[in-house]
Amino acid sequence: MIIMTDFAKHLENFFIKYLIGECGSSRHTIRAYRDSFSLLLLFMKKTKGLNADRIELKNIDKGIILDFLLWLEKEYNNSLSTRNQRYAAIRSFCRYLQYVEPTRIGEWQSIRSIKLKKPLTKTISYLSIEAIKLLLEQIPTNTQSTKRDLALLALLYDSGARVQELIDLTPSCIRHEIPYTIRLTGKGKKQRIVPLQKEQVNLLKQYIEDHGLDNPEKEFGPLFLNRVGEKLTNPGITYILKKYANAAKNVNSKIIPNILSPHILRHSKAMHLLQSGINLVYIRDFLGHKSIQTTEIYARADSNQKREALESVYVNVIPEKNSERSWEKNKSLKDFLKSLGE
């Protein structure tokens, strides 16, 4: 007879009573946390020789968690971002343990004190407006499935939605009257209303009618369906995007990147709003960011806007008596500078 360990008991209560019962965490969060602890159990078995049914709370300490995080990086090639997400699940569990198992509160706080690793700042990838147009032009509108693809990808860009937000949409989320809007449910089940263009609403309306989604009984079912009538998945949407991206790349490879993900359409919309002069606060609300600091990455990434802003206020205060600079008169210096490129 297998006796449930204190670790198993608390982990089960953490998921069922705390995350689902008290916090009302989303399915996405539950899946992410589940995967994180599945990897922790695998780590304990492979490196510590402890099967899942033998792990106890006394086996969990800061050193073990640090070893686990390093294992994720070395053995599983997890990026720093993924590594931090795995740690976030453990950190949340230790926060829960502080209250239900306070006899080791110092250990739980010690684990929660582990610092997140900061990845190198990456350049934000985004498409130009010209590239977005080219991408959408590759989608024919002669079949129901391609009409769905056009409505889906156009909405992904126009709304700046996250992929999961798009997947969770229902026909009831769309407002077909002026002002045209769509209701998105983001992280933490926070909802926001995003304005849409009339052309976008027309695409959605046509798609909904073609697929019989205007039937009242389907009002709260999935908006975007696959070929067997089920809700589209993240990989499914990625596949649709890549199919038309490859077609667009054959037309103009200079403006379509080799790697293109659905999230890049969200980045693209944010950059285009910024470049059109929209205030960062409005862009934050549009994207559903919790903090303006998250939205500021777009301002930092837009080098063209920086250059144009600086050029617009630049005043030349250096007197020029001669068009030839002083260094241009210095032959030895010019020879030295030329040699740097040899």
Is 95 an annotated catalytic residue?
no
Write down the catalytic residue from 87, 96, 180, 298.
Answer: 298
C-alpha closest to that of 165 among 35, 257, 269: 269
DSSP 135-171: HHHT---SSHHHHHHHHHHHHHHHH---HHHHHT--G
Is 187 an annotated catalytic residue?
yes
Write down the catalytic residue from 91, 148, 211, 266.
Answer: 266
Write down the catalytic residue from 17, 58, 263, 290.
Answer: 263
Write down the catalytic residue from 10, 187, 205, 218.
Answer: 187
Is 289 an annotated catalytic residue?
yes
Round to whole Å and give the CA distance between 154 and 133: 10
Is 266 an annotated catalytic residue?
yes
Longest dimension (CA), the chain: 95
DSSP secondary-structure letter at 231? B
Phi-psi region of 24 (alpha: psi -120 to 50; beta: other; left: phi over 0): left
Quick one: the chain helix, strand, coil %, rounded to 5?
65, 5, 35
Is 192 an annotated catalytic residue?
no
Write down the catalytic residue from 162, 249, 269, 284.
Answer: 162
DSSP 66-126: HHHHHHHHHTS---HHHHHHHHHHHHHHHHHHHHHSGGGHHHHHHHHTPPPP-PPPPPPP-
Q: What is the number of alpha carbons within 13 Å of residue 60 lying toward its C-beta?
A: 30
Is 162 an annotated catalytic residue?
yes
Round to whole Å and give the CA distance between 23 and 310: 47
Catalytic residues: 162, 187, 263, 266, 289, 298
